[in-house]
Chains A and B, each alone.
Chain A
C-alpha cells in the first residue's frame, strides 16, 4: 500500500507568504526525502532527513520529522511565484533493506500567486 500521504492536496498562497505541507507515513523508515516537480518535468530532490534527525534547513526550506507520529512537514518561507510546483515526500522503509526503494506520497500542488 502507499507509504506516504500528503496534506493538503492543493495549496494556494500569495507571494511572500509561508507554505506548509505535511506528510504522514505508515512504517518505520530509514530516511524521508522531499522532492519538487515543476509541470512537465522530472522530480528534483530538495532535502533528505534521516530517521535520527528532527529538523533540517536548506535555504528557505525547513523540514521537520516526528518519527513517533510518523509525520514530516515542509515549510517554504517567503514564497515566490517560482515555487509553484508539486511537492512530494518520499520514504525509504526500513523493511526495504539496502535496495534504496523510495515510496512517494501523492504530493501537494502549491500555487504561489504574484
Chain B
C-alpha cells in the first residue's frame, strides 16, 4: 500500500531517446510535484499540478512535459534525452493548504541514466 509510487525505479537509455516516468498517489492529495535531484543531492522543483492544473512550471527545457490525467497521477515525459538529464527524479504529493503548510510525501525516485 505504497503512498506515492513511481515507475520505473531505474531507467537506462541512450541519448536522443524519449522516455516516460509514471507516478501515482493513493493519499487523496490534490497536488503533485516533480523534483530533480542531481549528483550533489541538490533537489530542484520542476513542475506542480493542482487538481490537474499546472501551477508551477520552473525553468525546465520544453523537452520535459508533465501530464496529469487525474488528481492521483502525474507522469513525466522526456523527449530527446541528453547526458545532462541523468539524475534521480522524485514525484511527490501534498494537500495544497493555504500558504503551503502541508508537508510533501515523496516516492522513492527514478534513477535516470543517459548514455
Residues of A bordering B, CB below 8 Å: 2, 30-31, 33, 35, 37, 40-45, 48, 50, 86, 88, 92, 94, 96, 98-104, 106-107, 109
Residues of B contacting A37 in the complex (Cβ-Cβ under 8 angstroms): 41
State whether B43 touches A104 (Cβ < 8 A). Answer: yes
User: Quick one: given A30-B99, A31-B99, are A101 and B104 in contact (CB under 8 Å)?
Assistant: no
* Of A2, A98, A104, A106, the contact of B98 (CB 8 Å cutoff): A98
User: Contact between B100 and A106 (Cβ–Cβ < 8 Å)?
Assistant: no
Identity of the chain A residue whose Cβ is nearest the Cβ of B41 in the assembled complex:
A107
- In the complex, the answer to whether B104 meets A31 with C-beta atoms within 8 Å is no
Count A-B pairs with CB separation below 8 Å: 76
Return the 7 tightest CB-CB contacts between A and B, nearest first.
A42-B106, A45-B103, A100-B100, A92-B100, A104-B43, A30-B99, A43-B106
| Bound CA–CA A43/B37 (angstroms) | 11
Other CB < 8 Å A-B pairs besides A40-B108, A45-B104, A103-B45, 7 of them? A30-B100, A31-B99, A48-B101, A98-B96, A99-B48, A99-B100, A100-B97
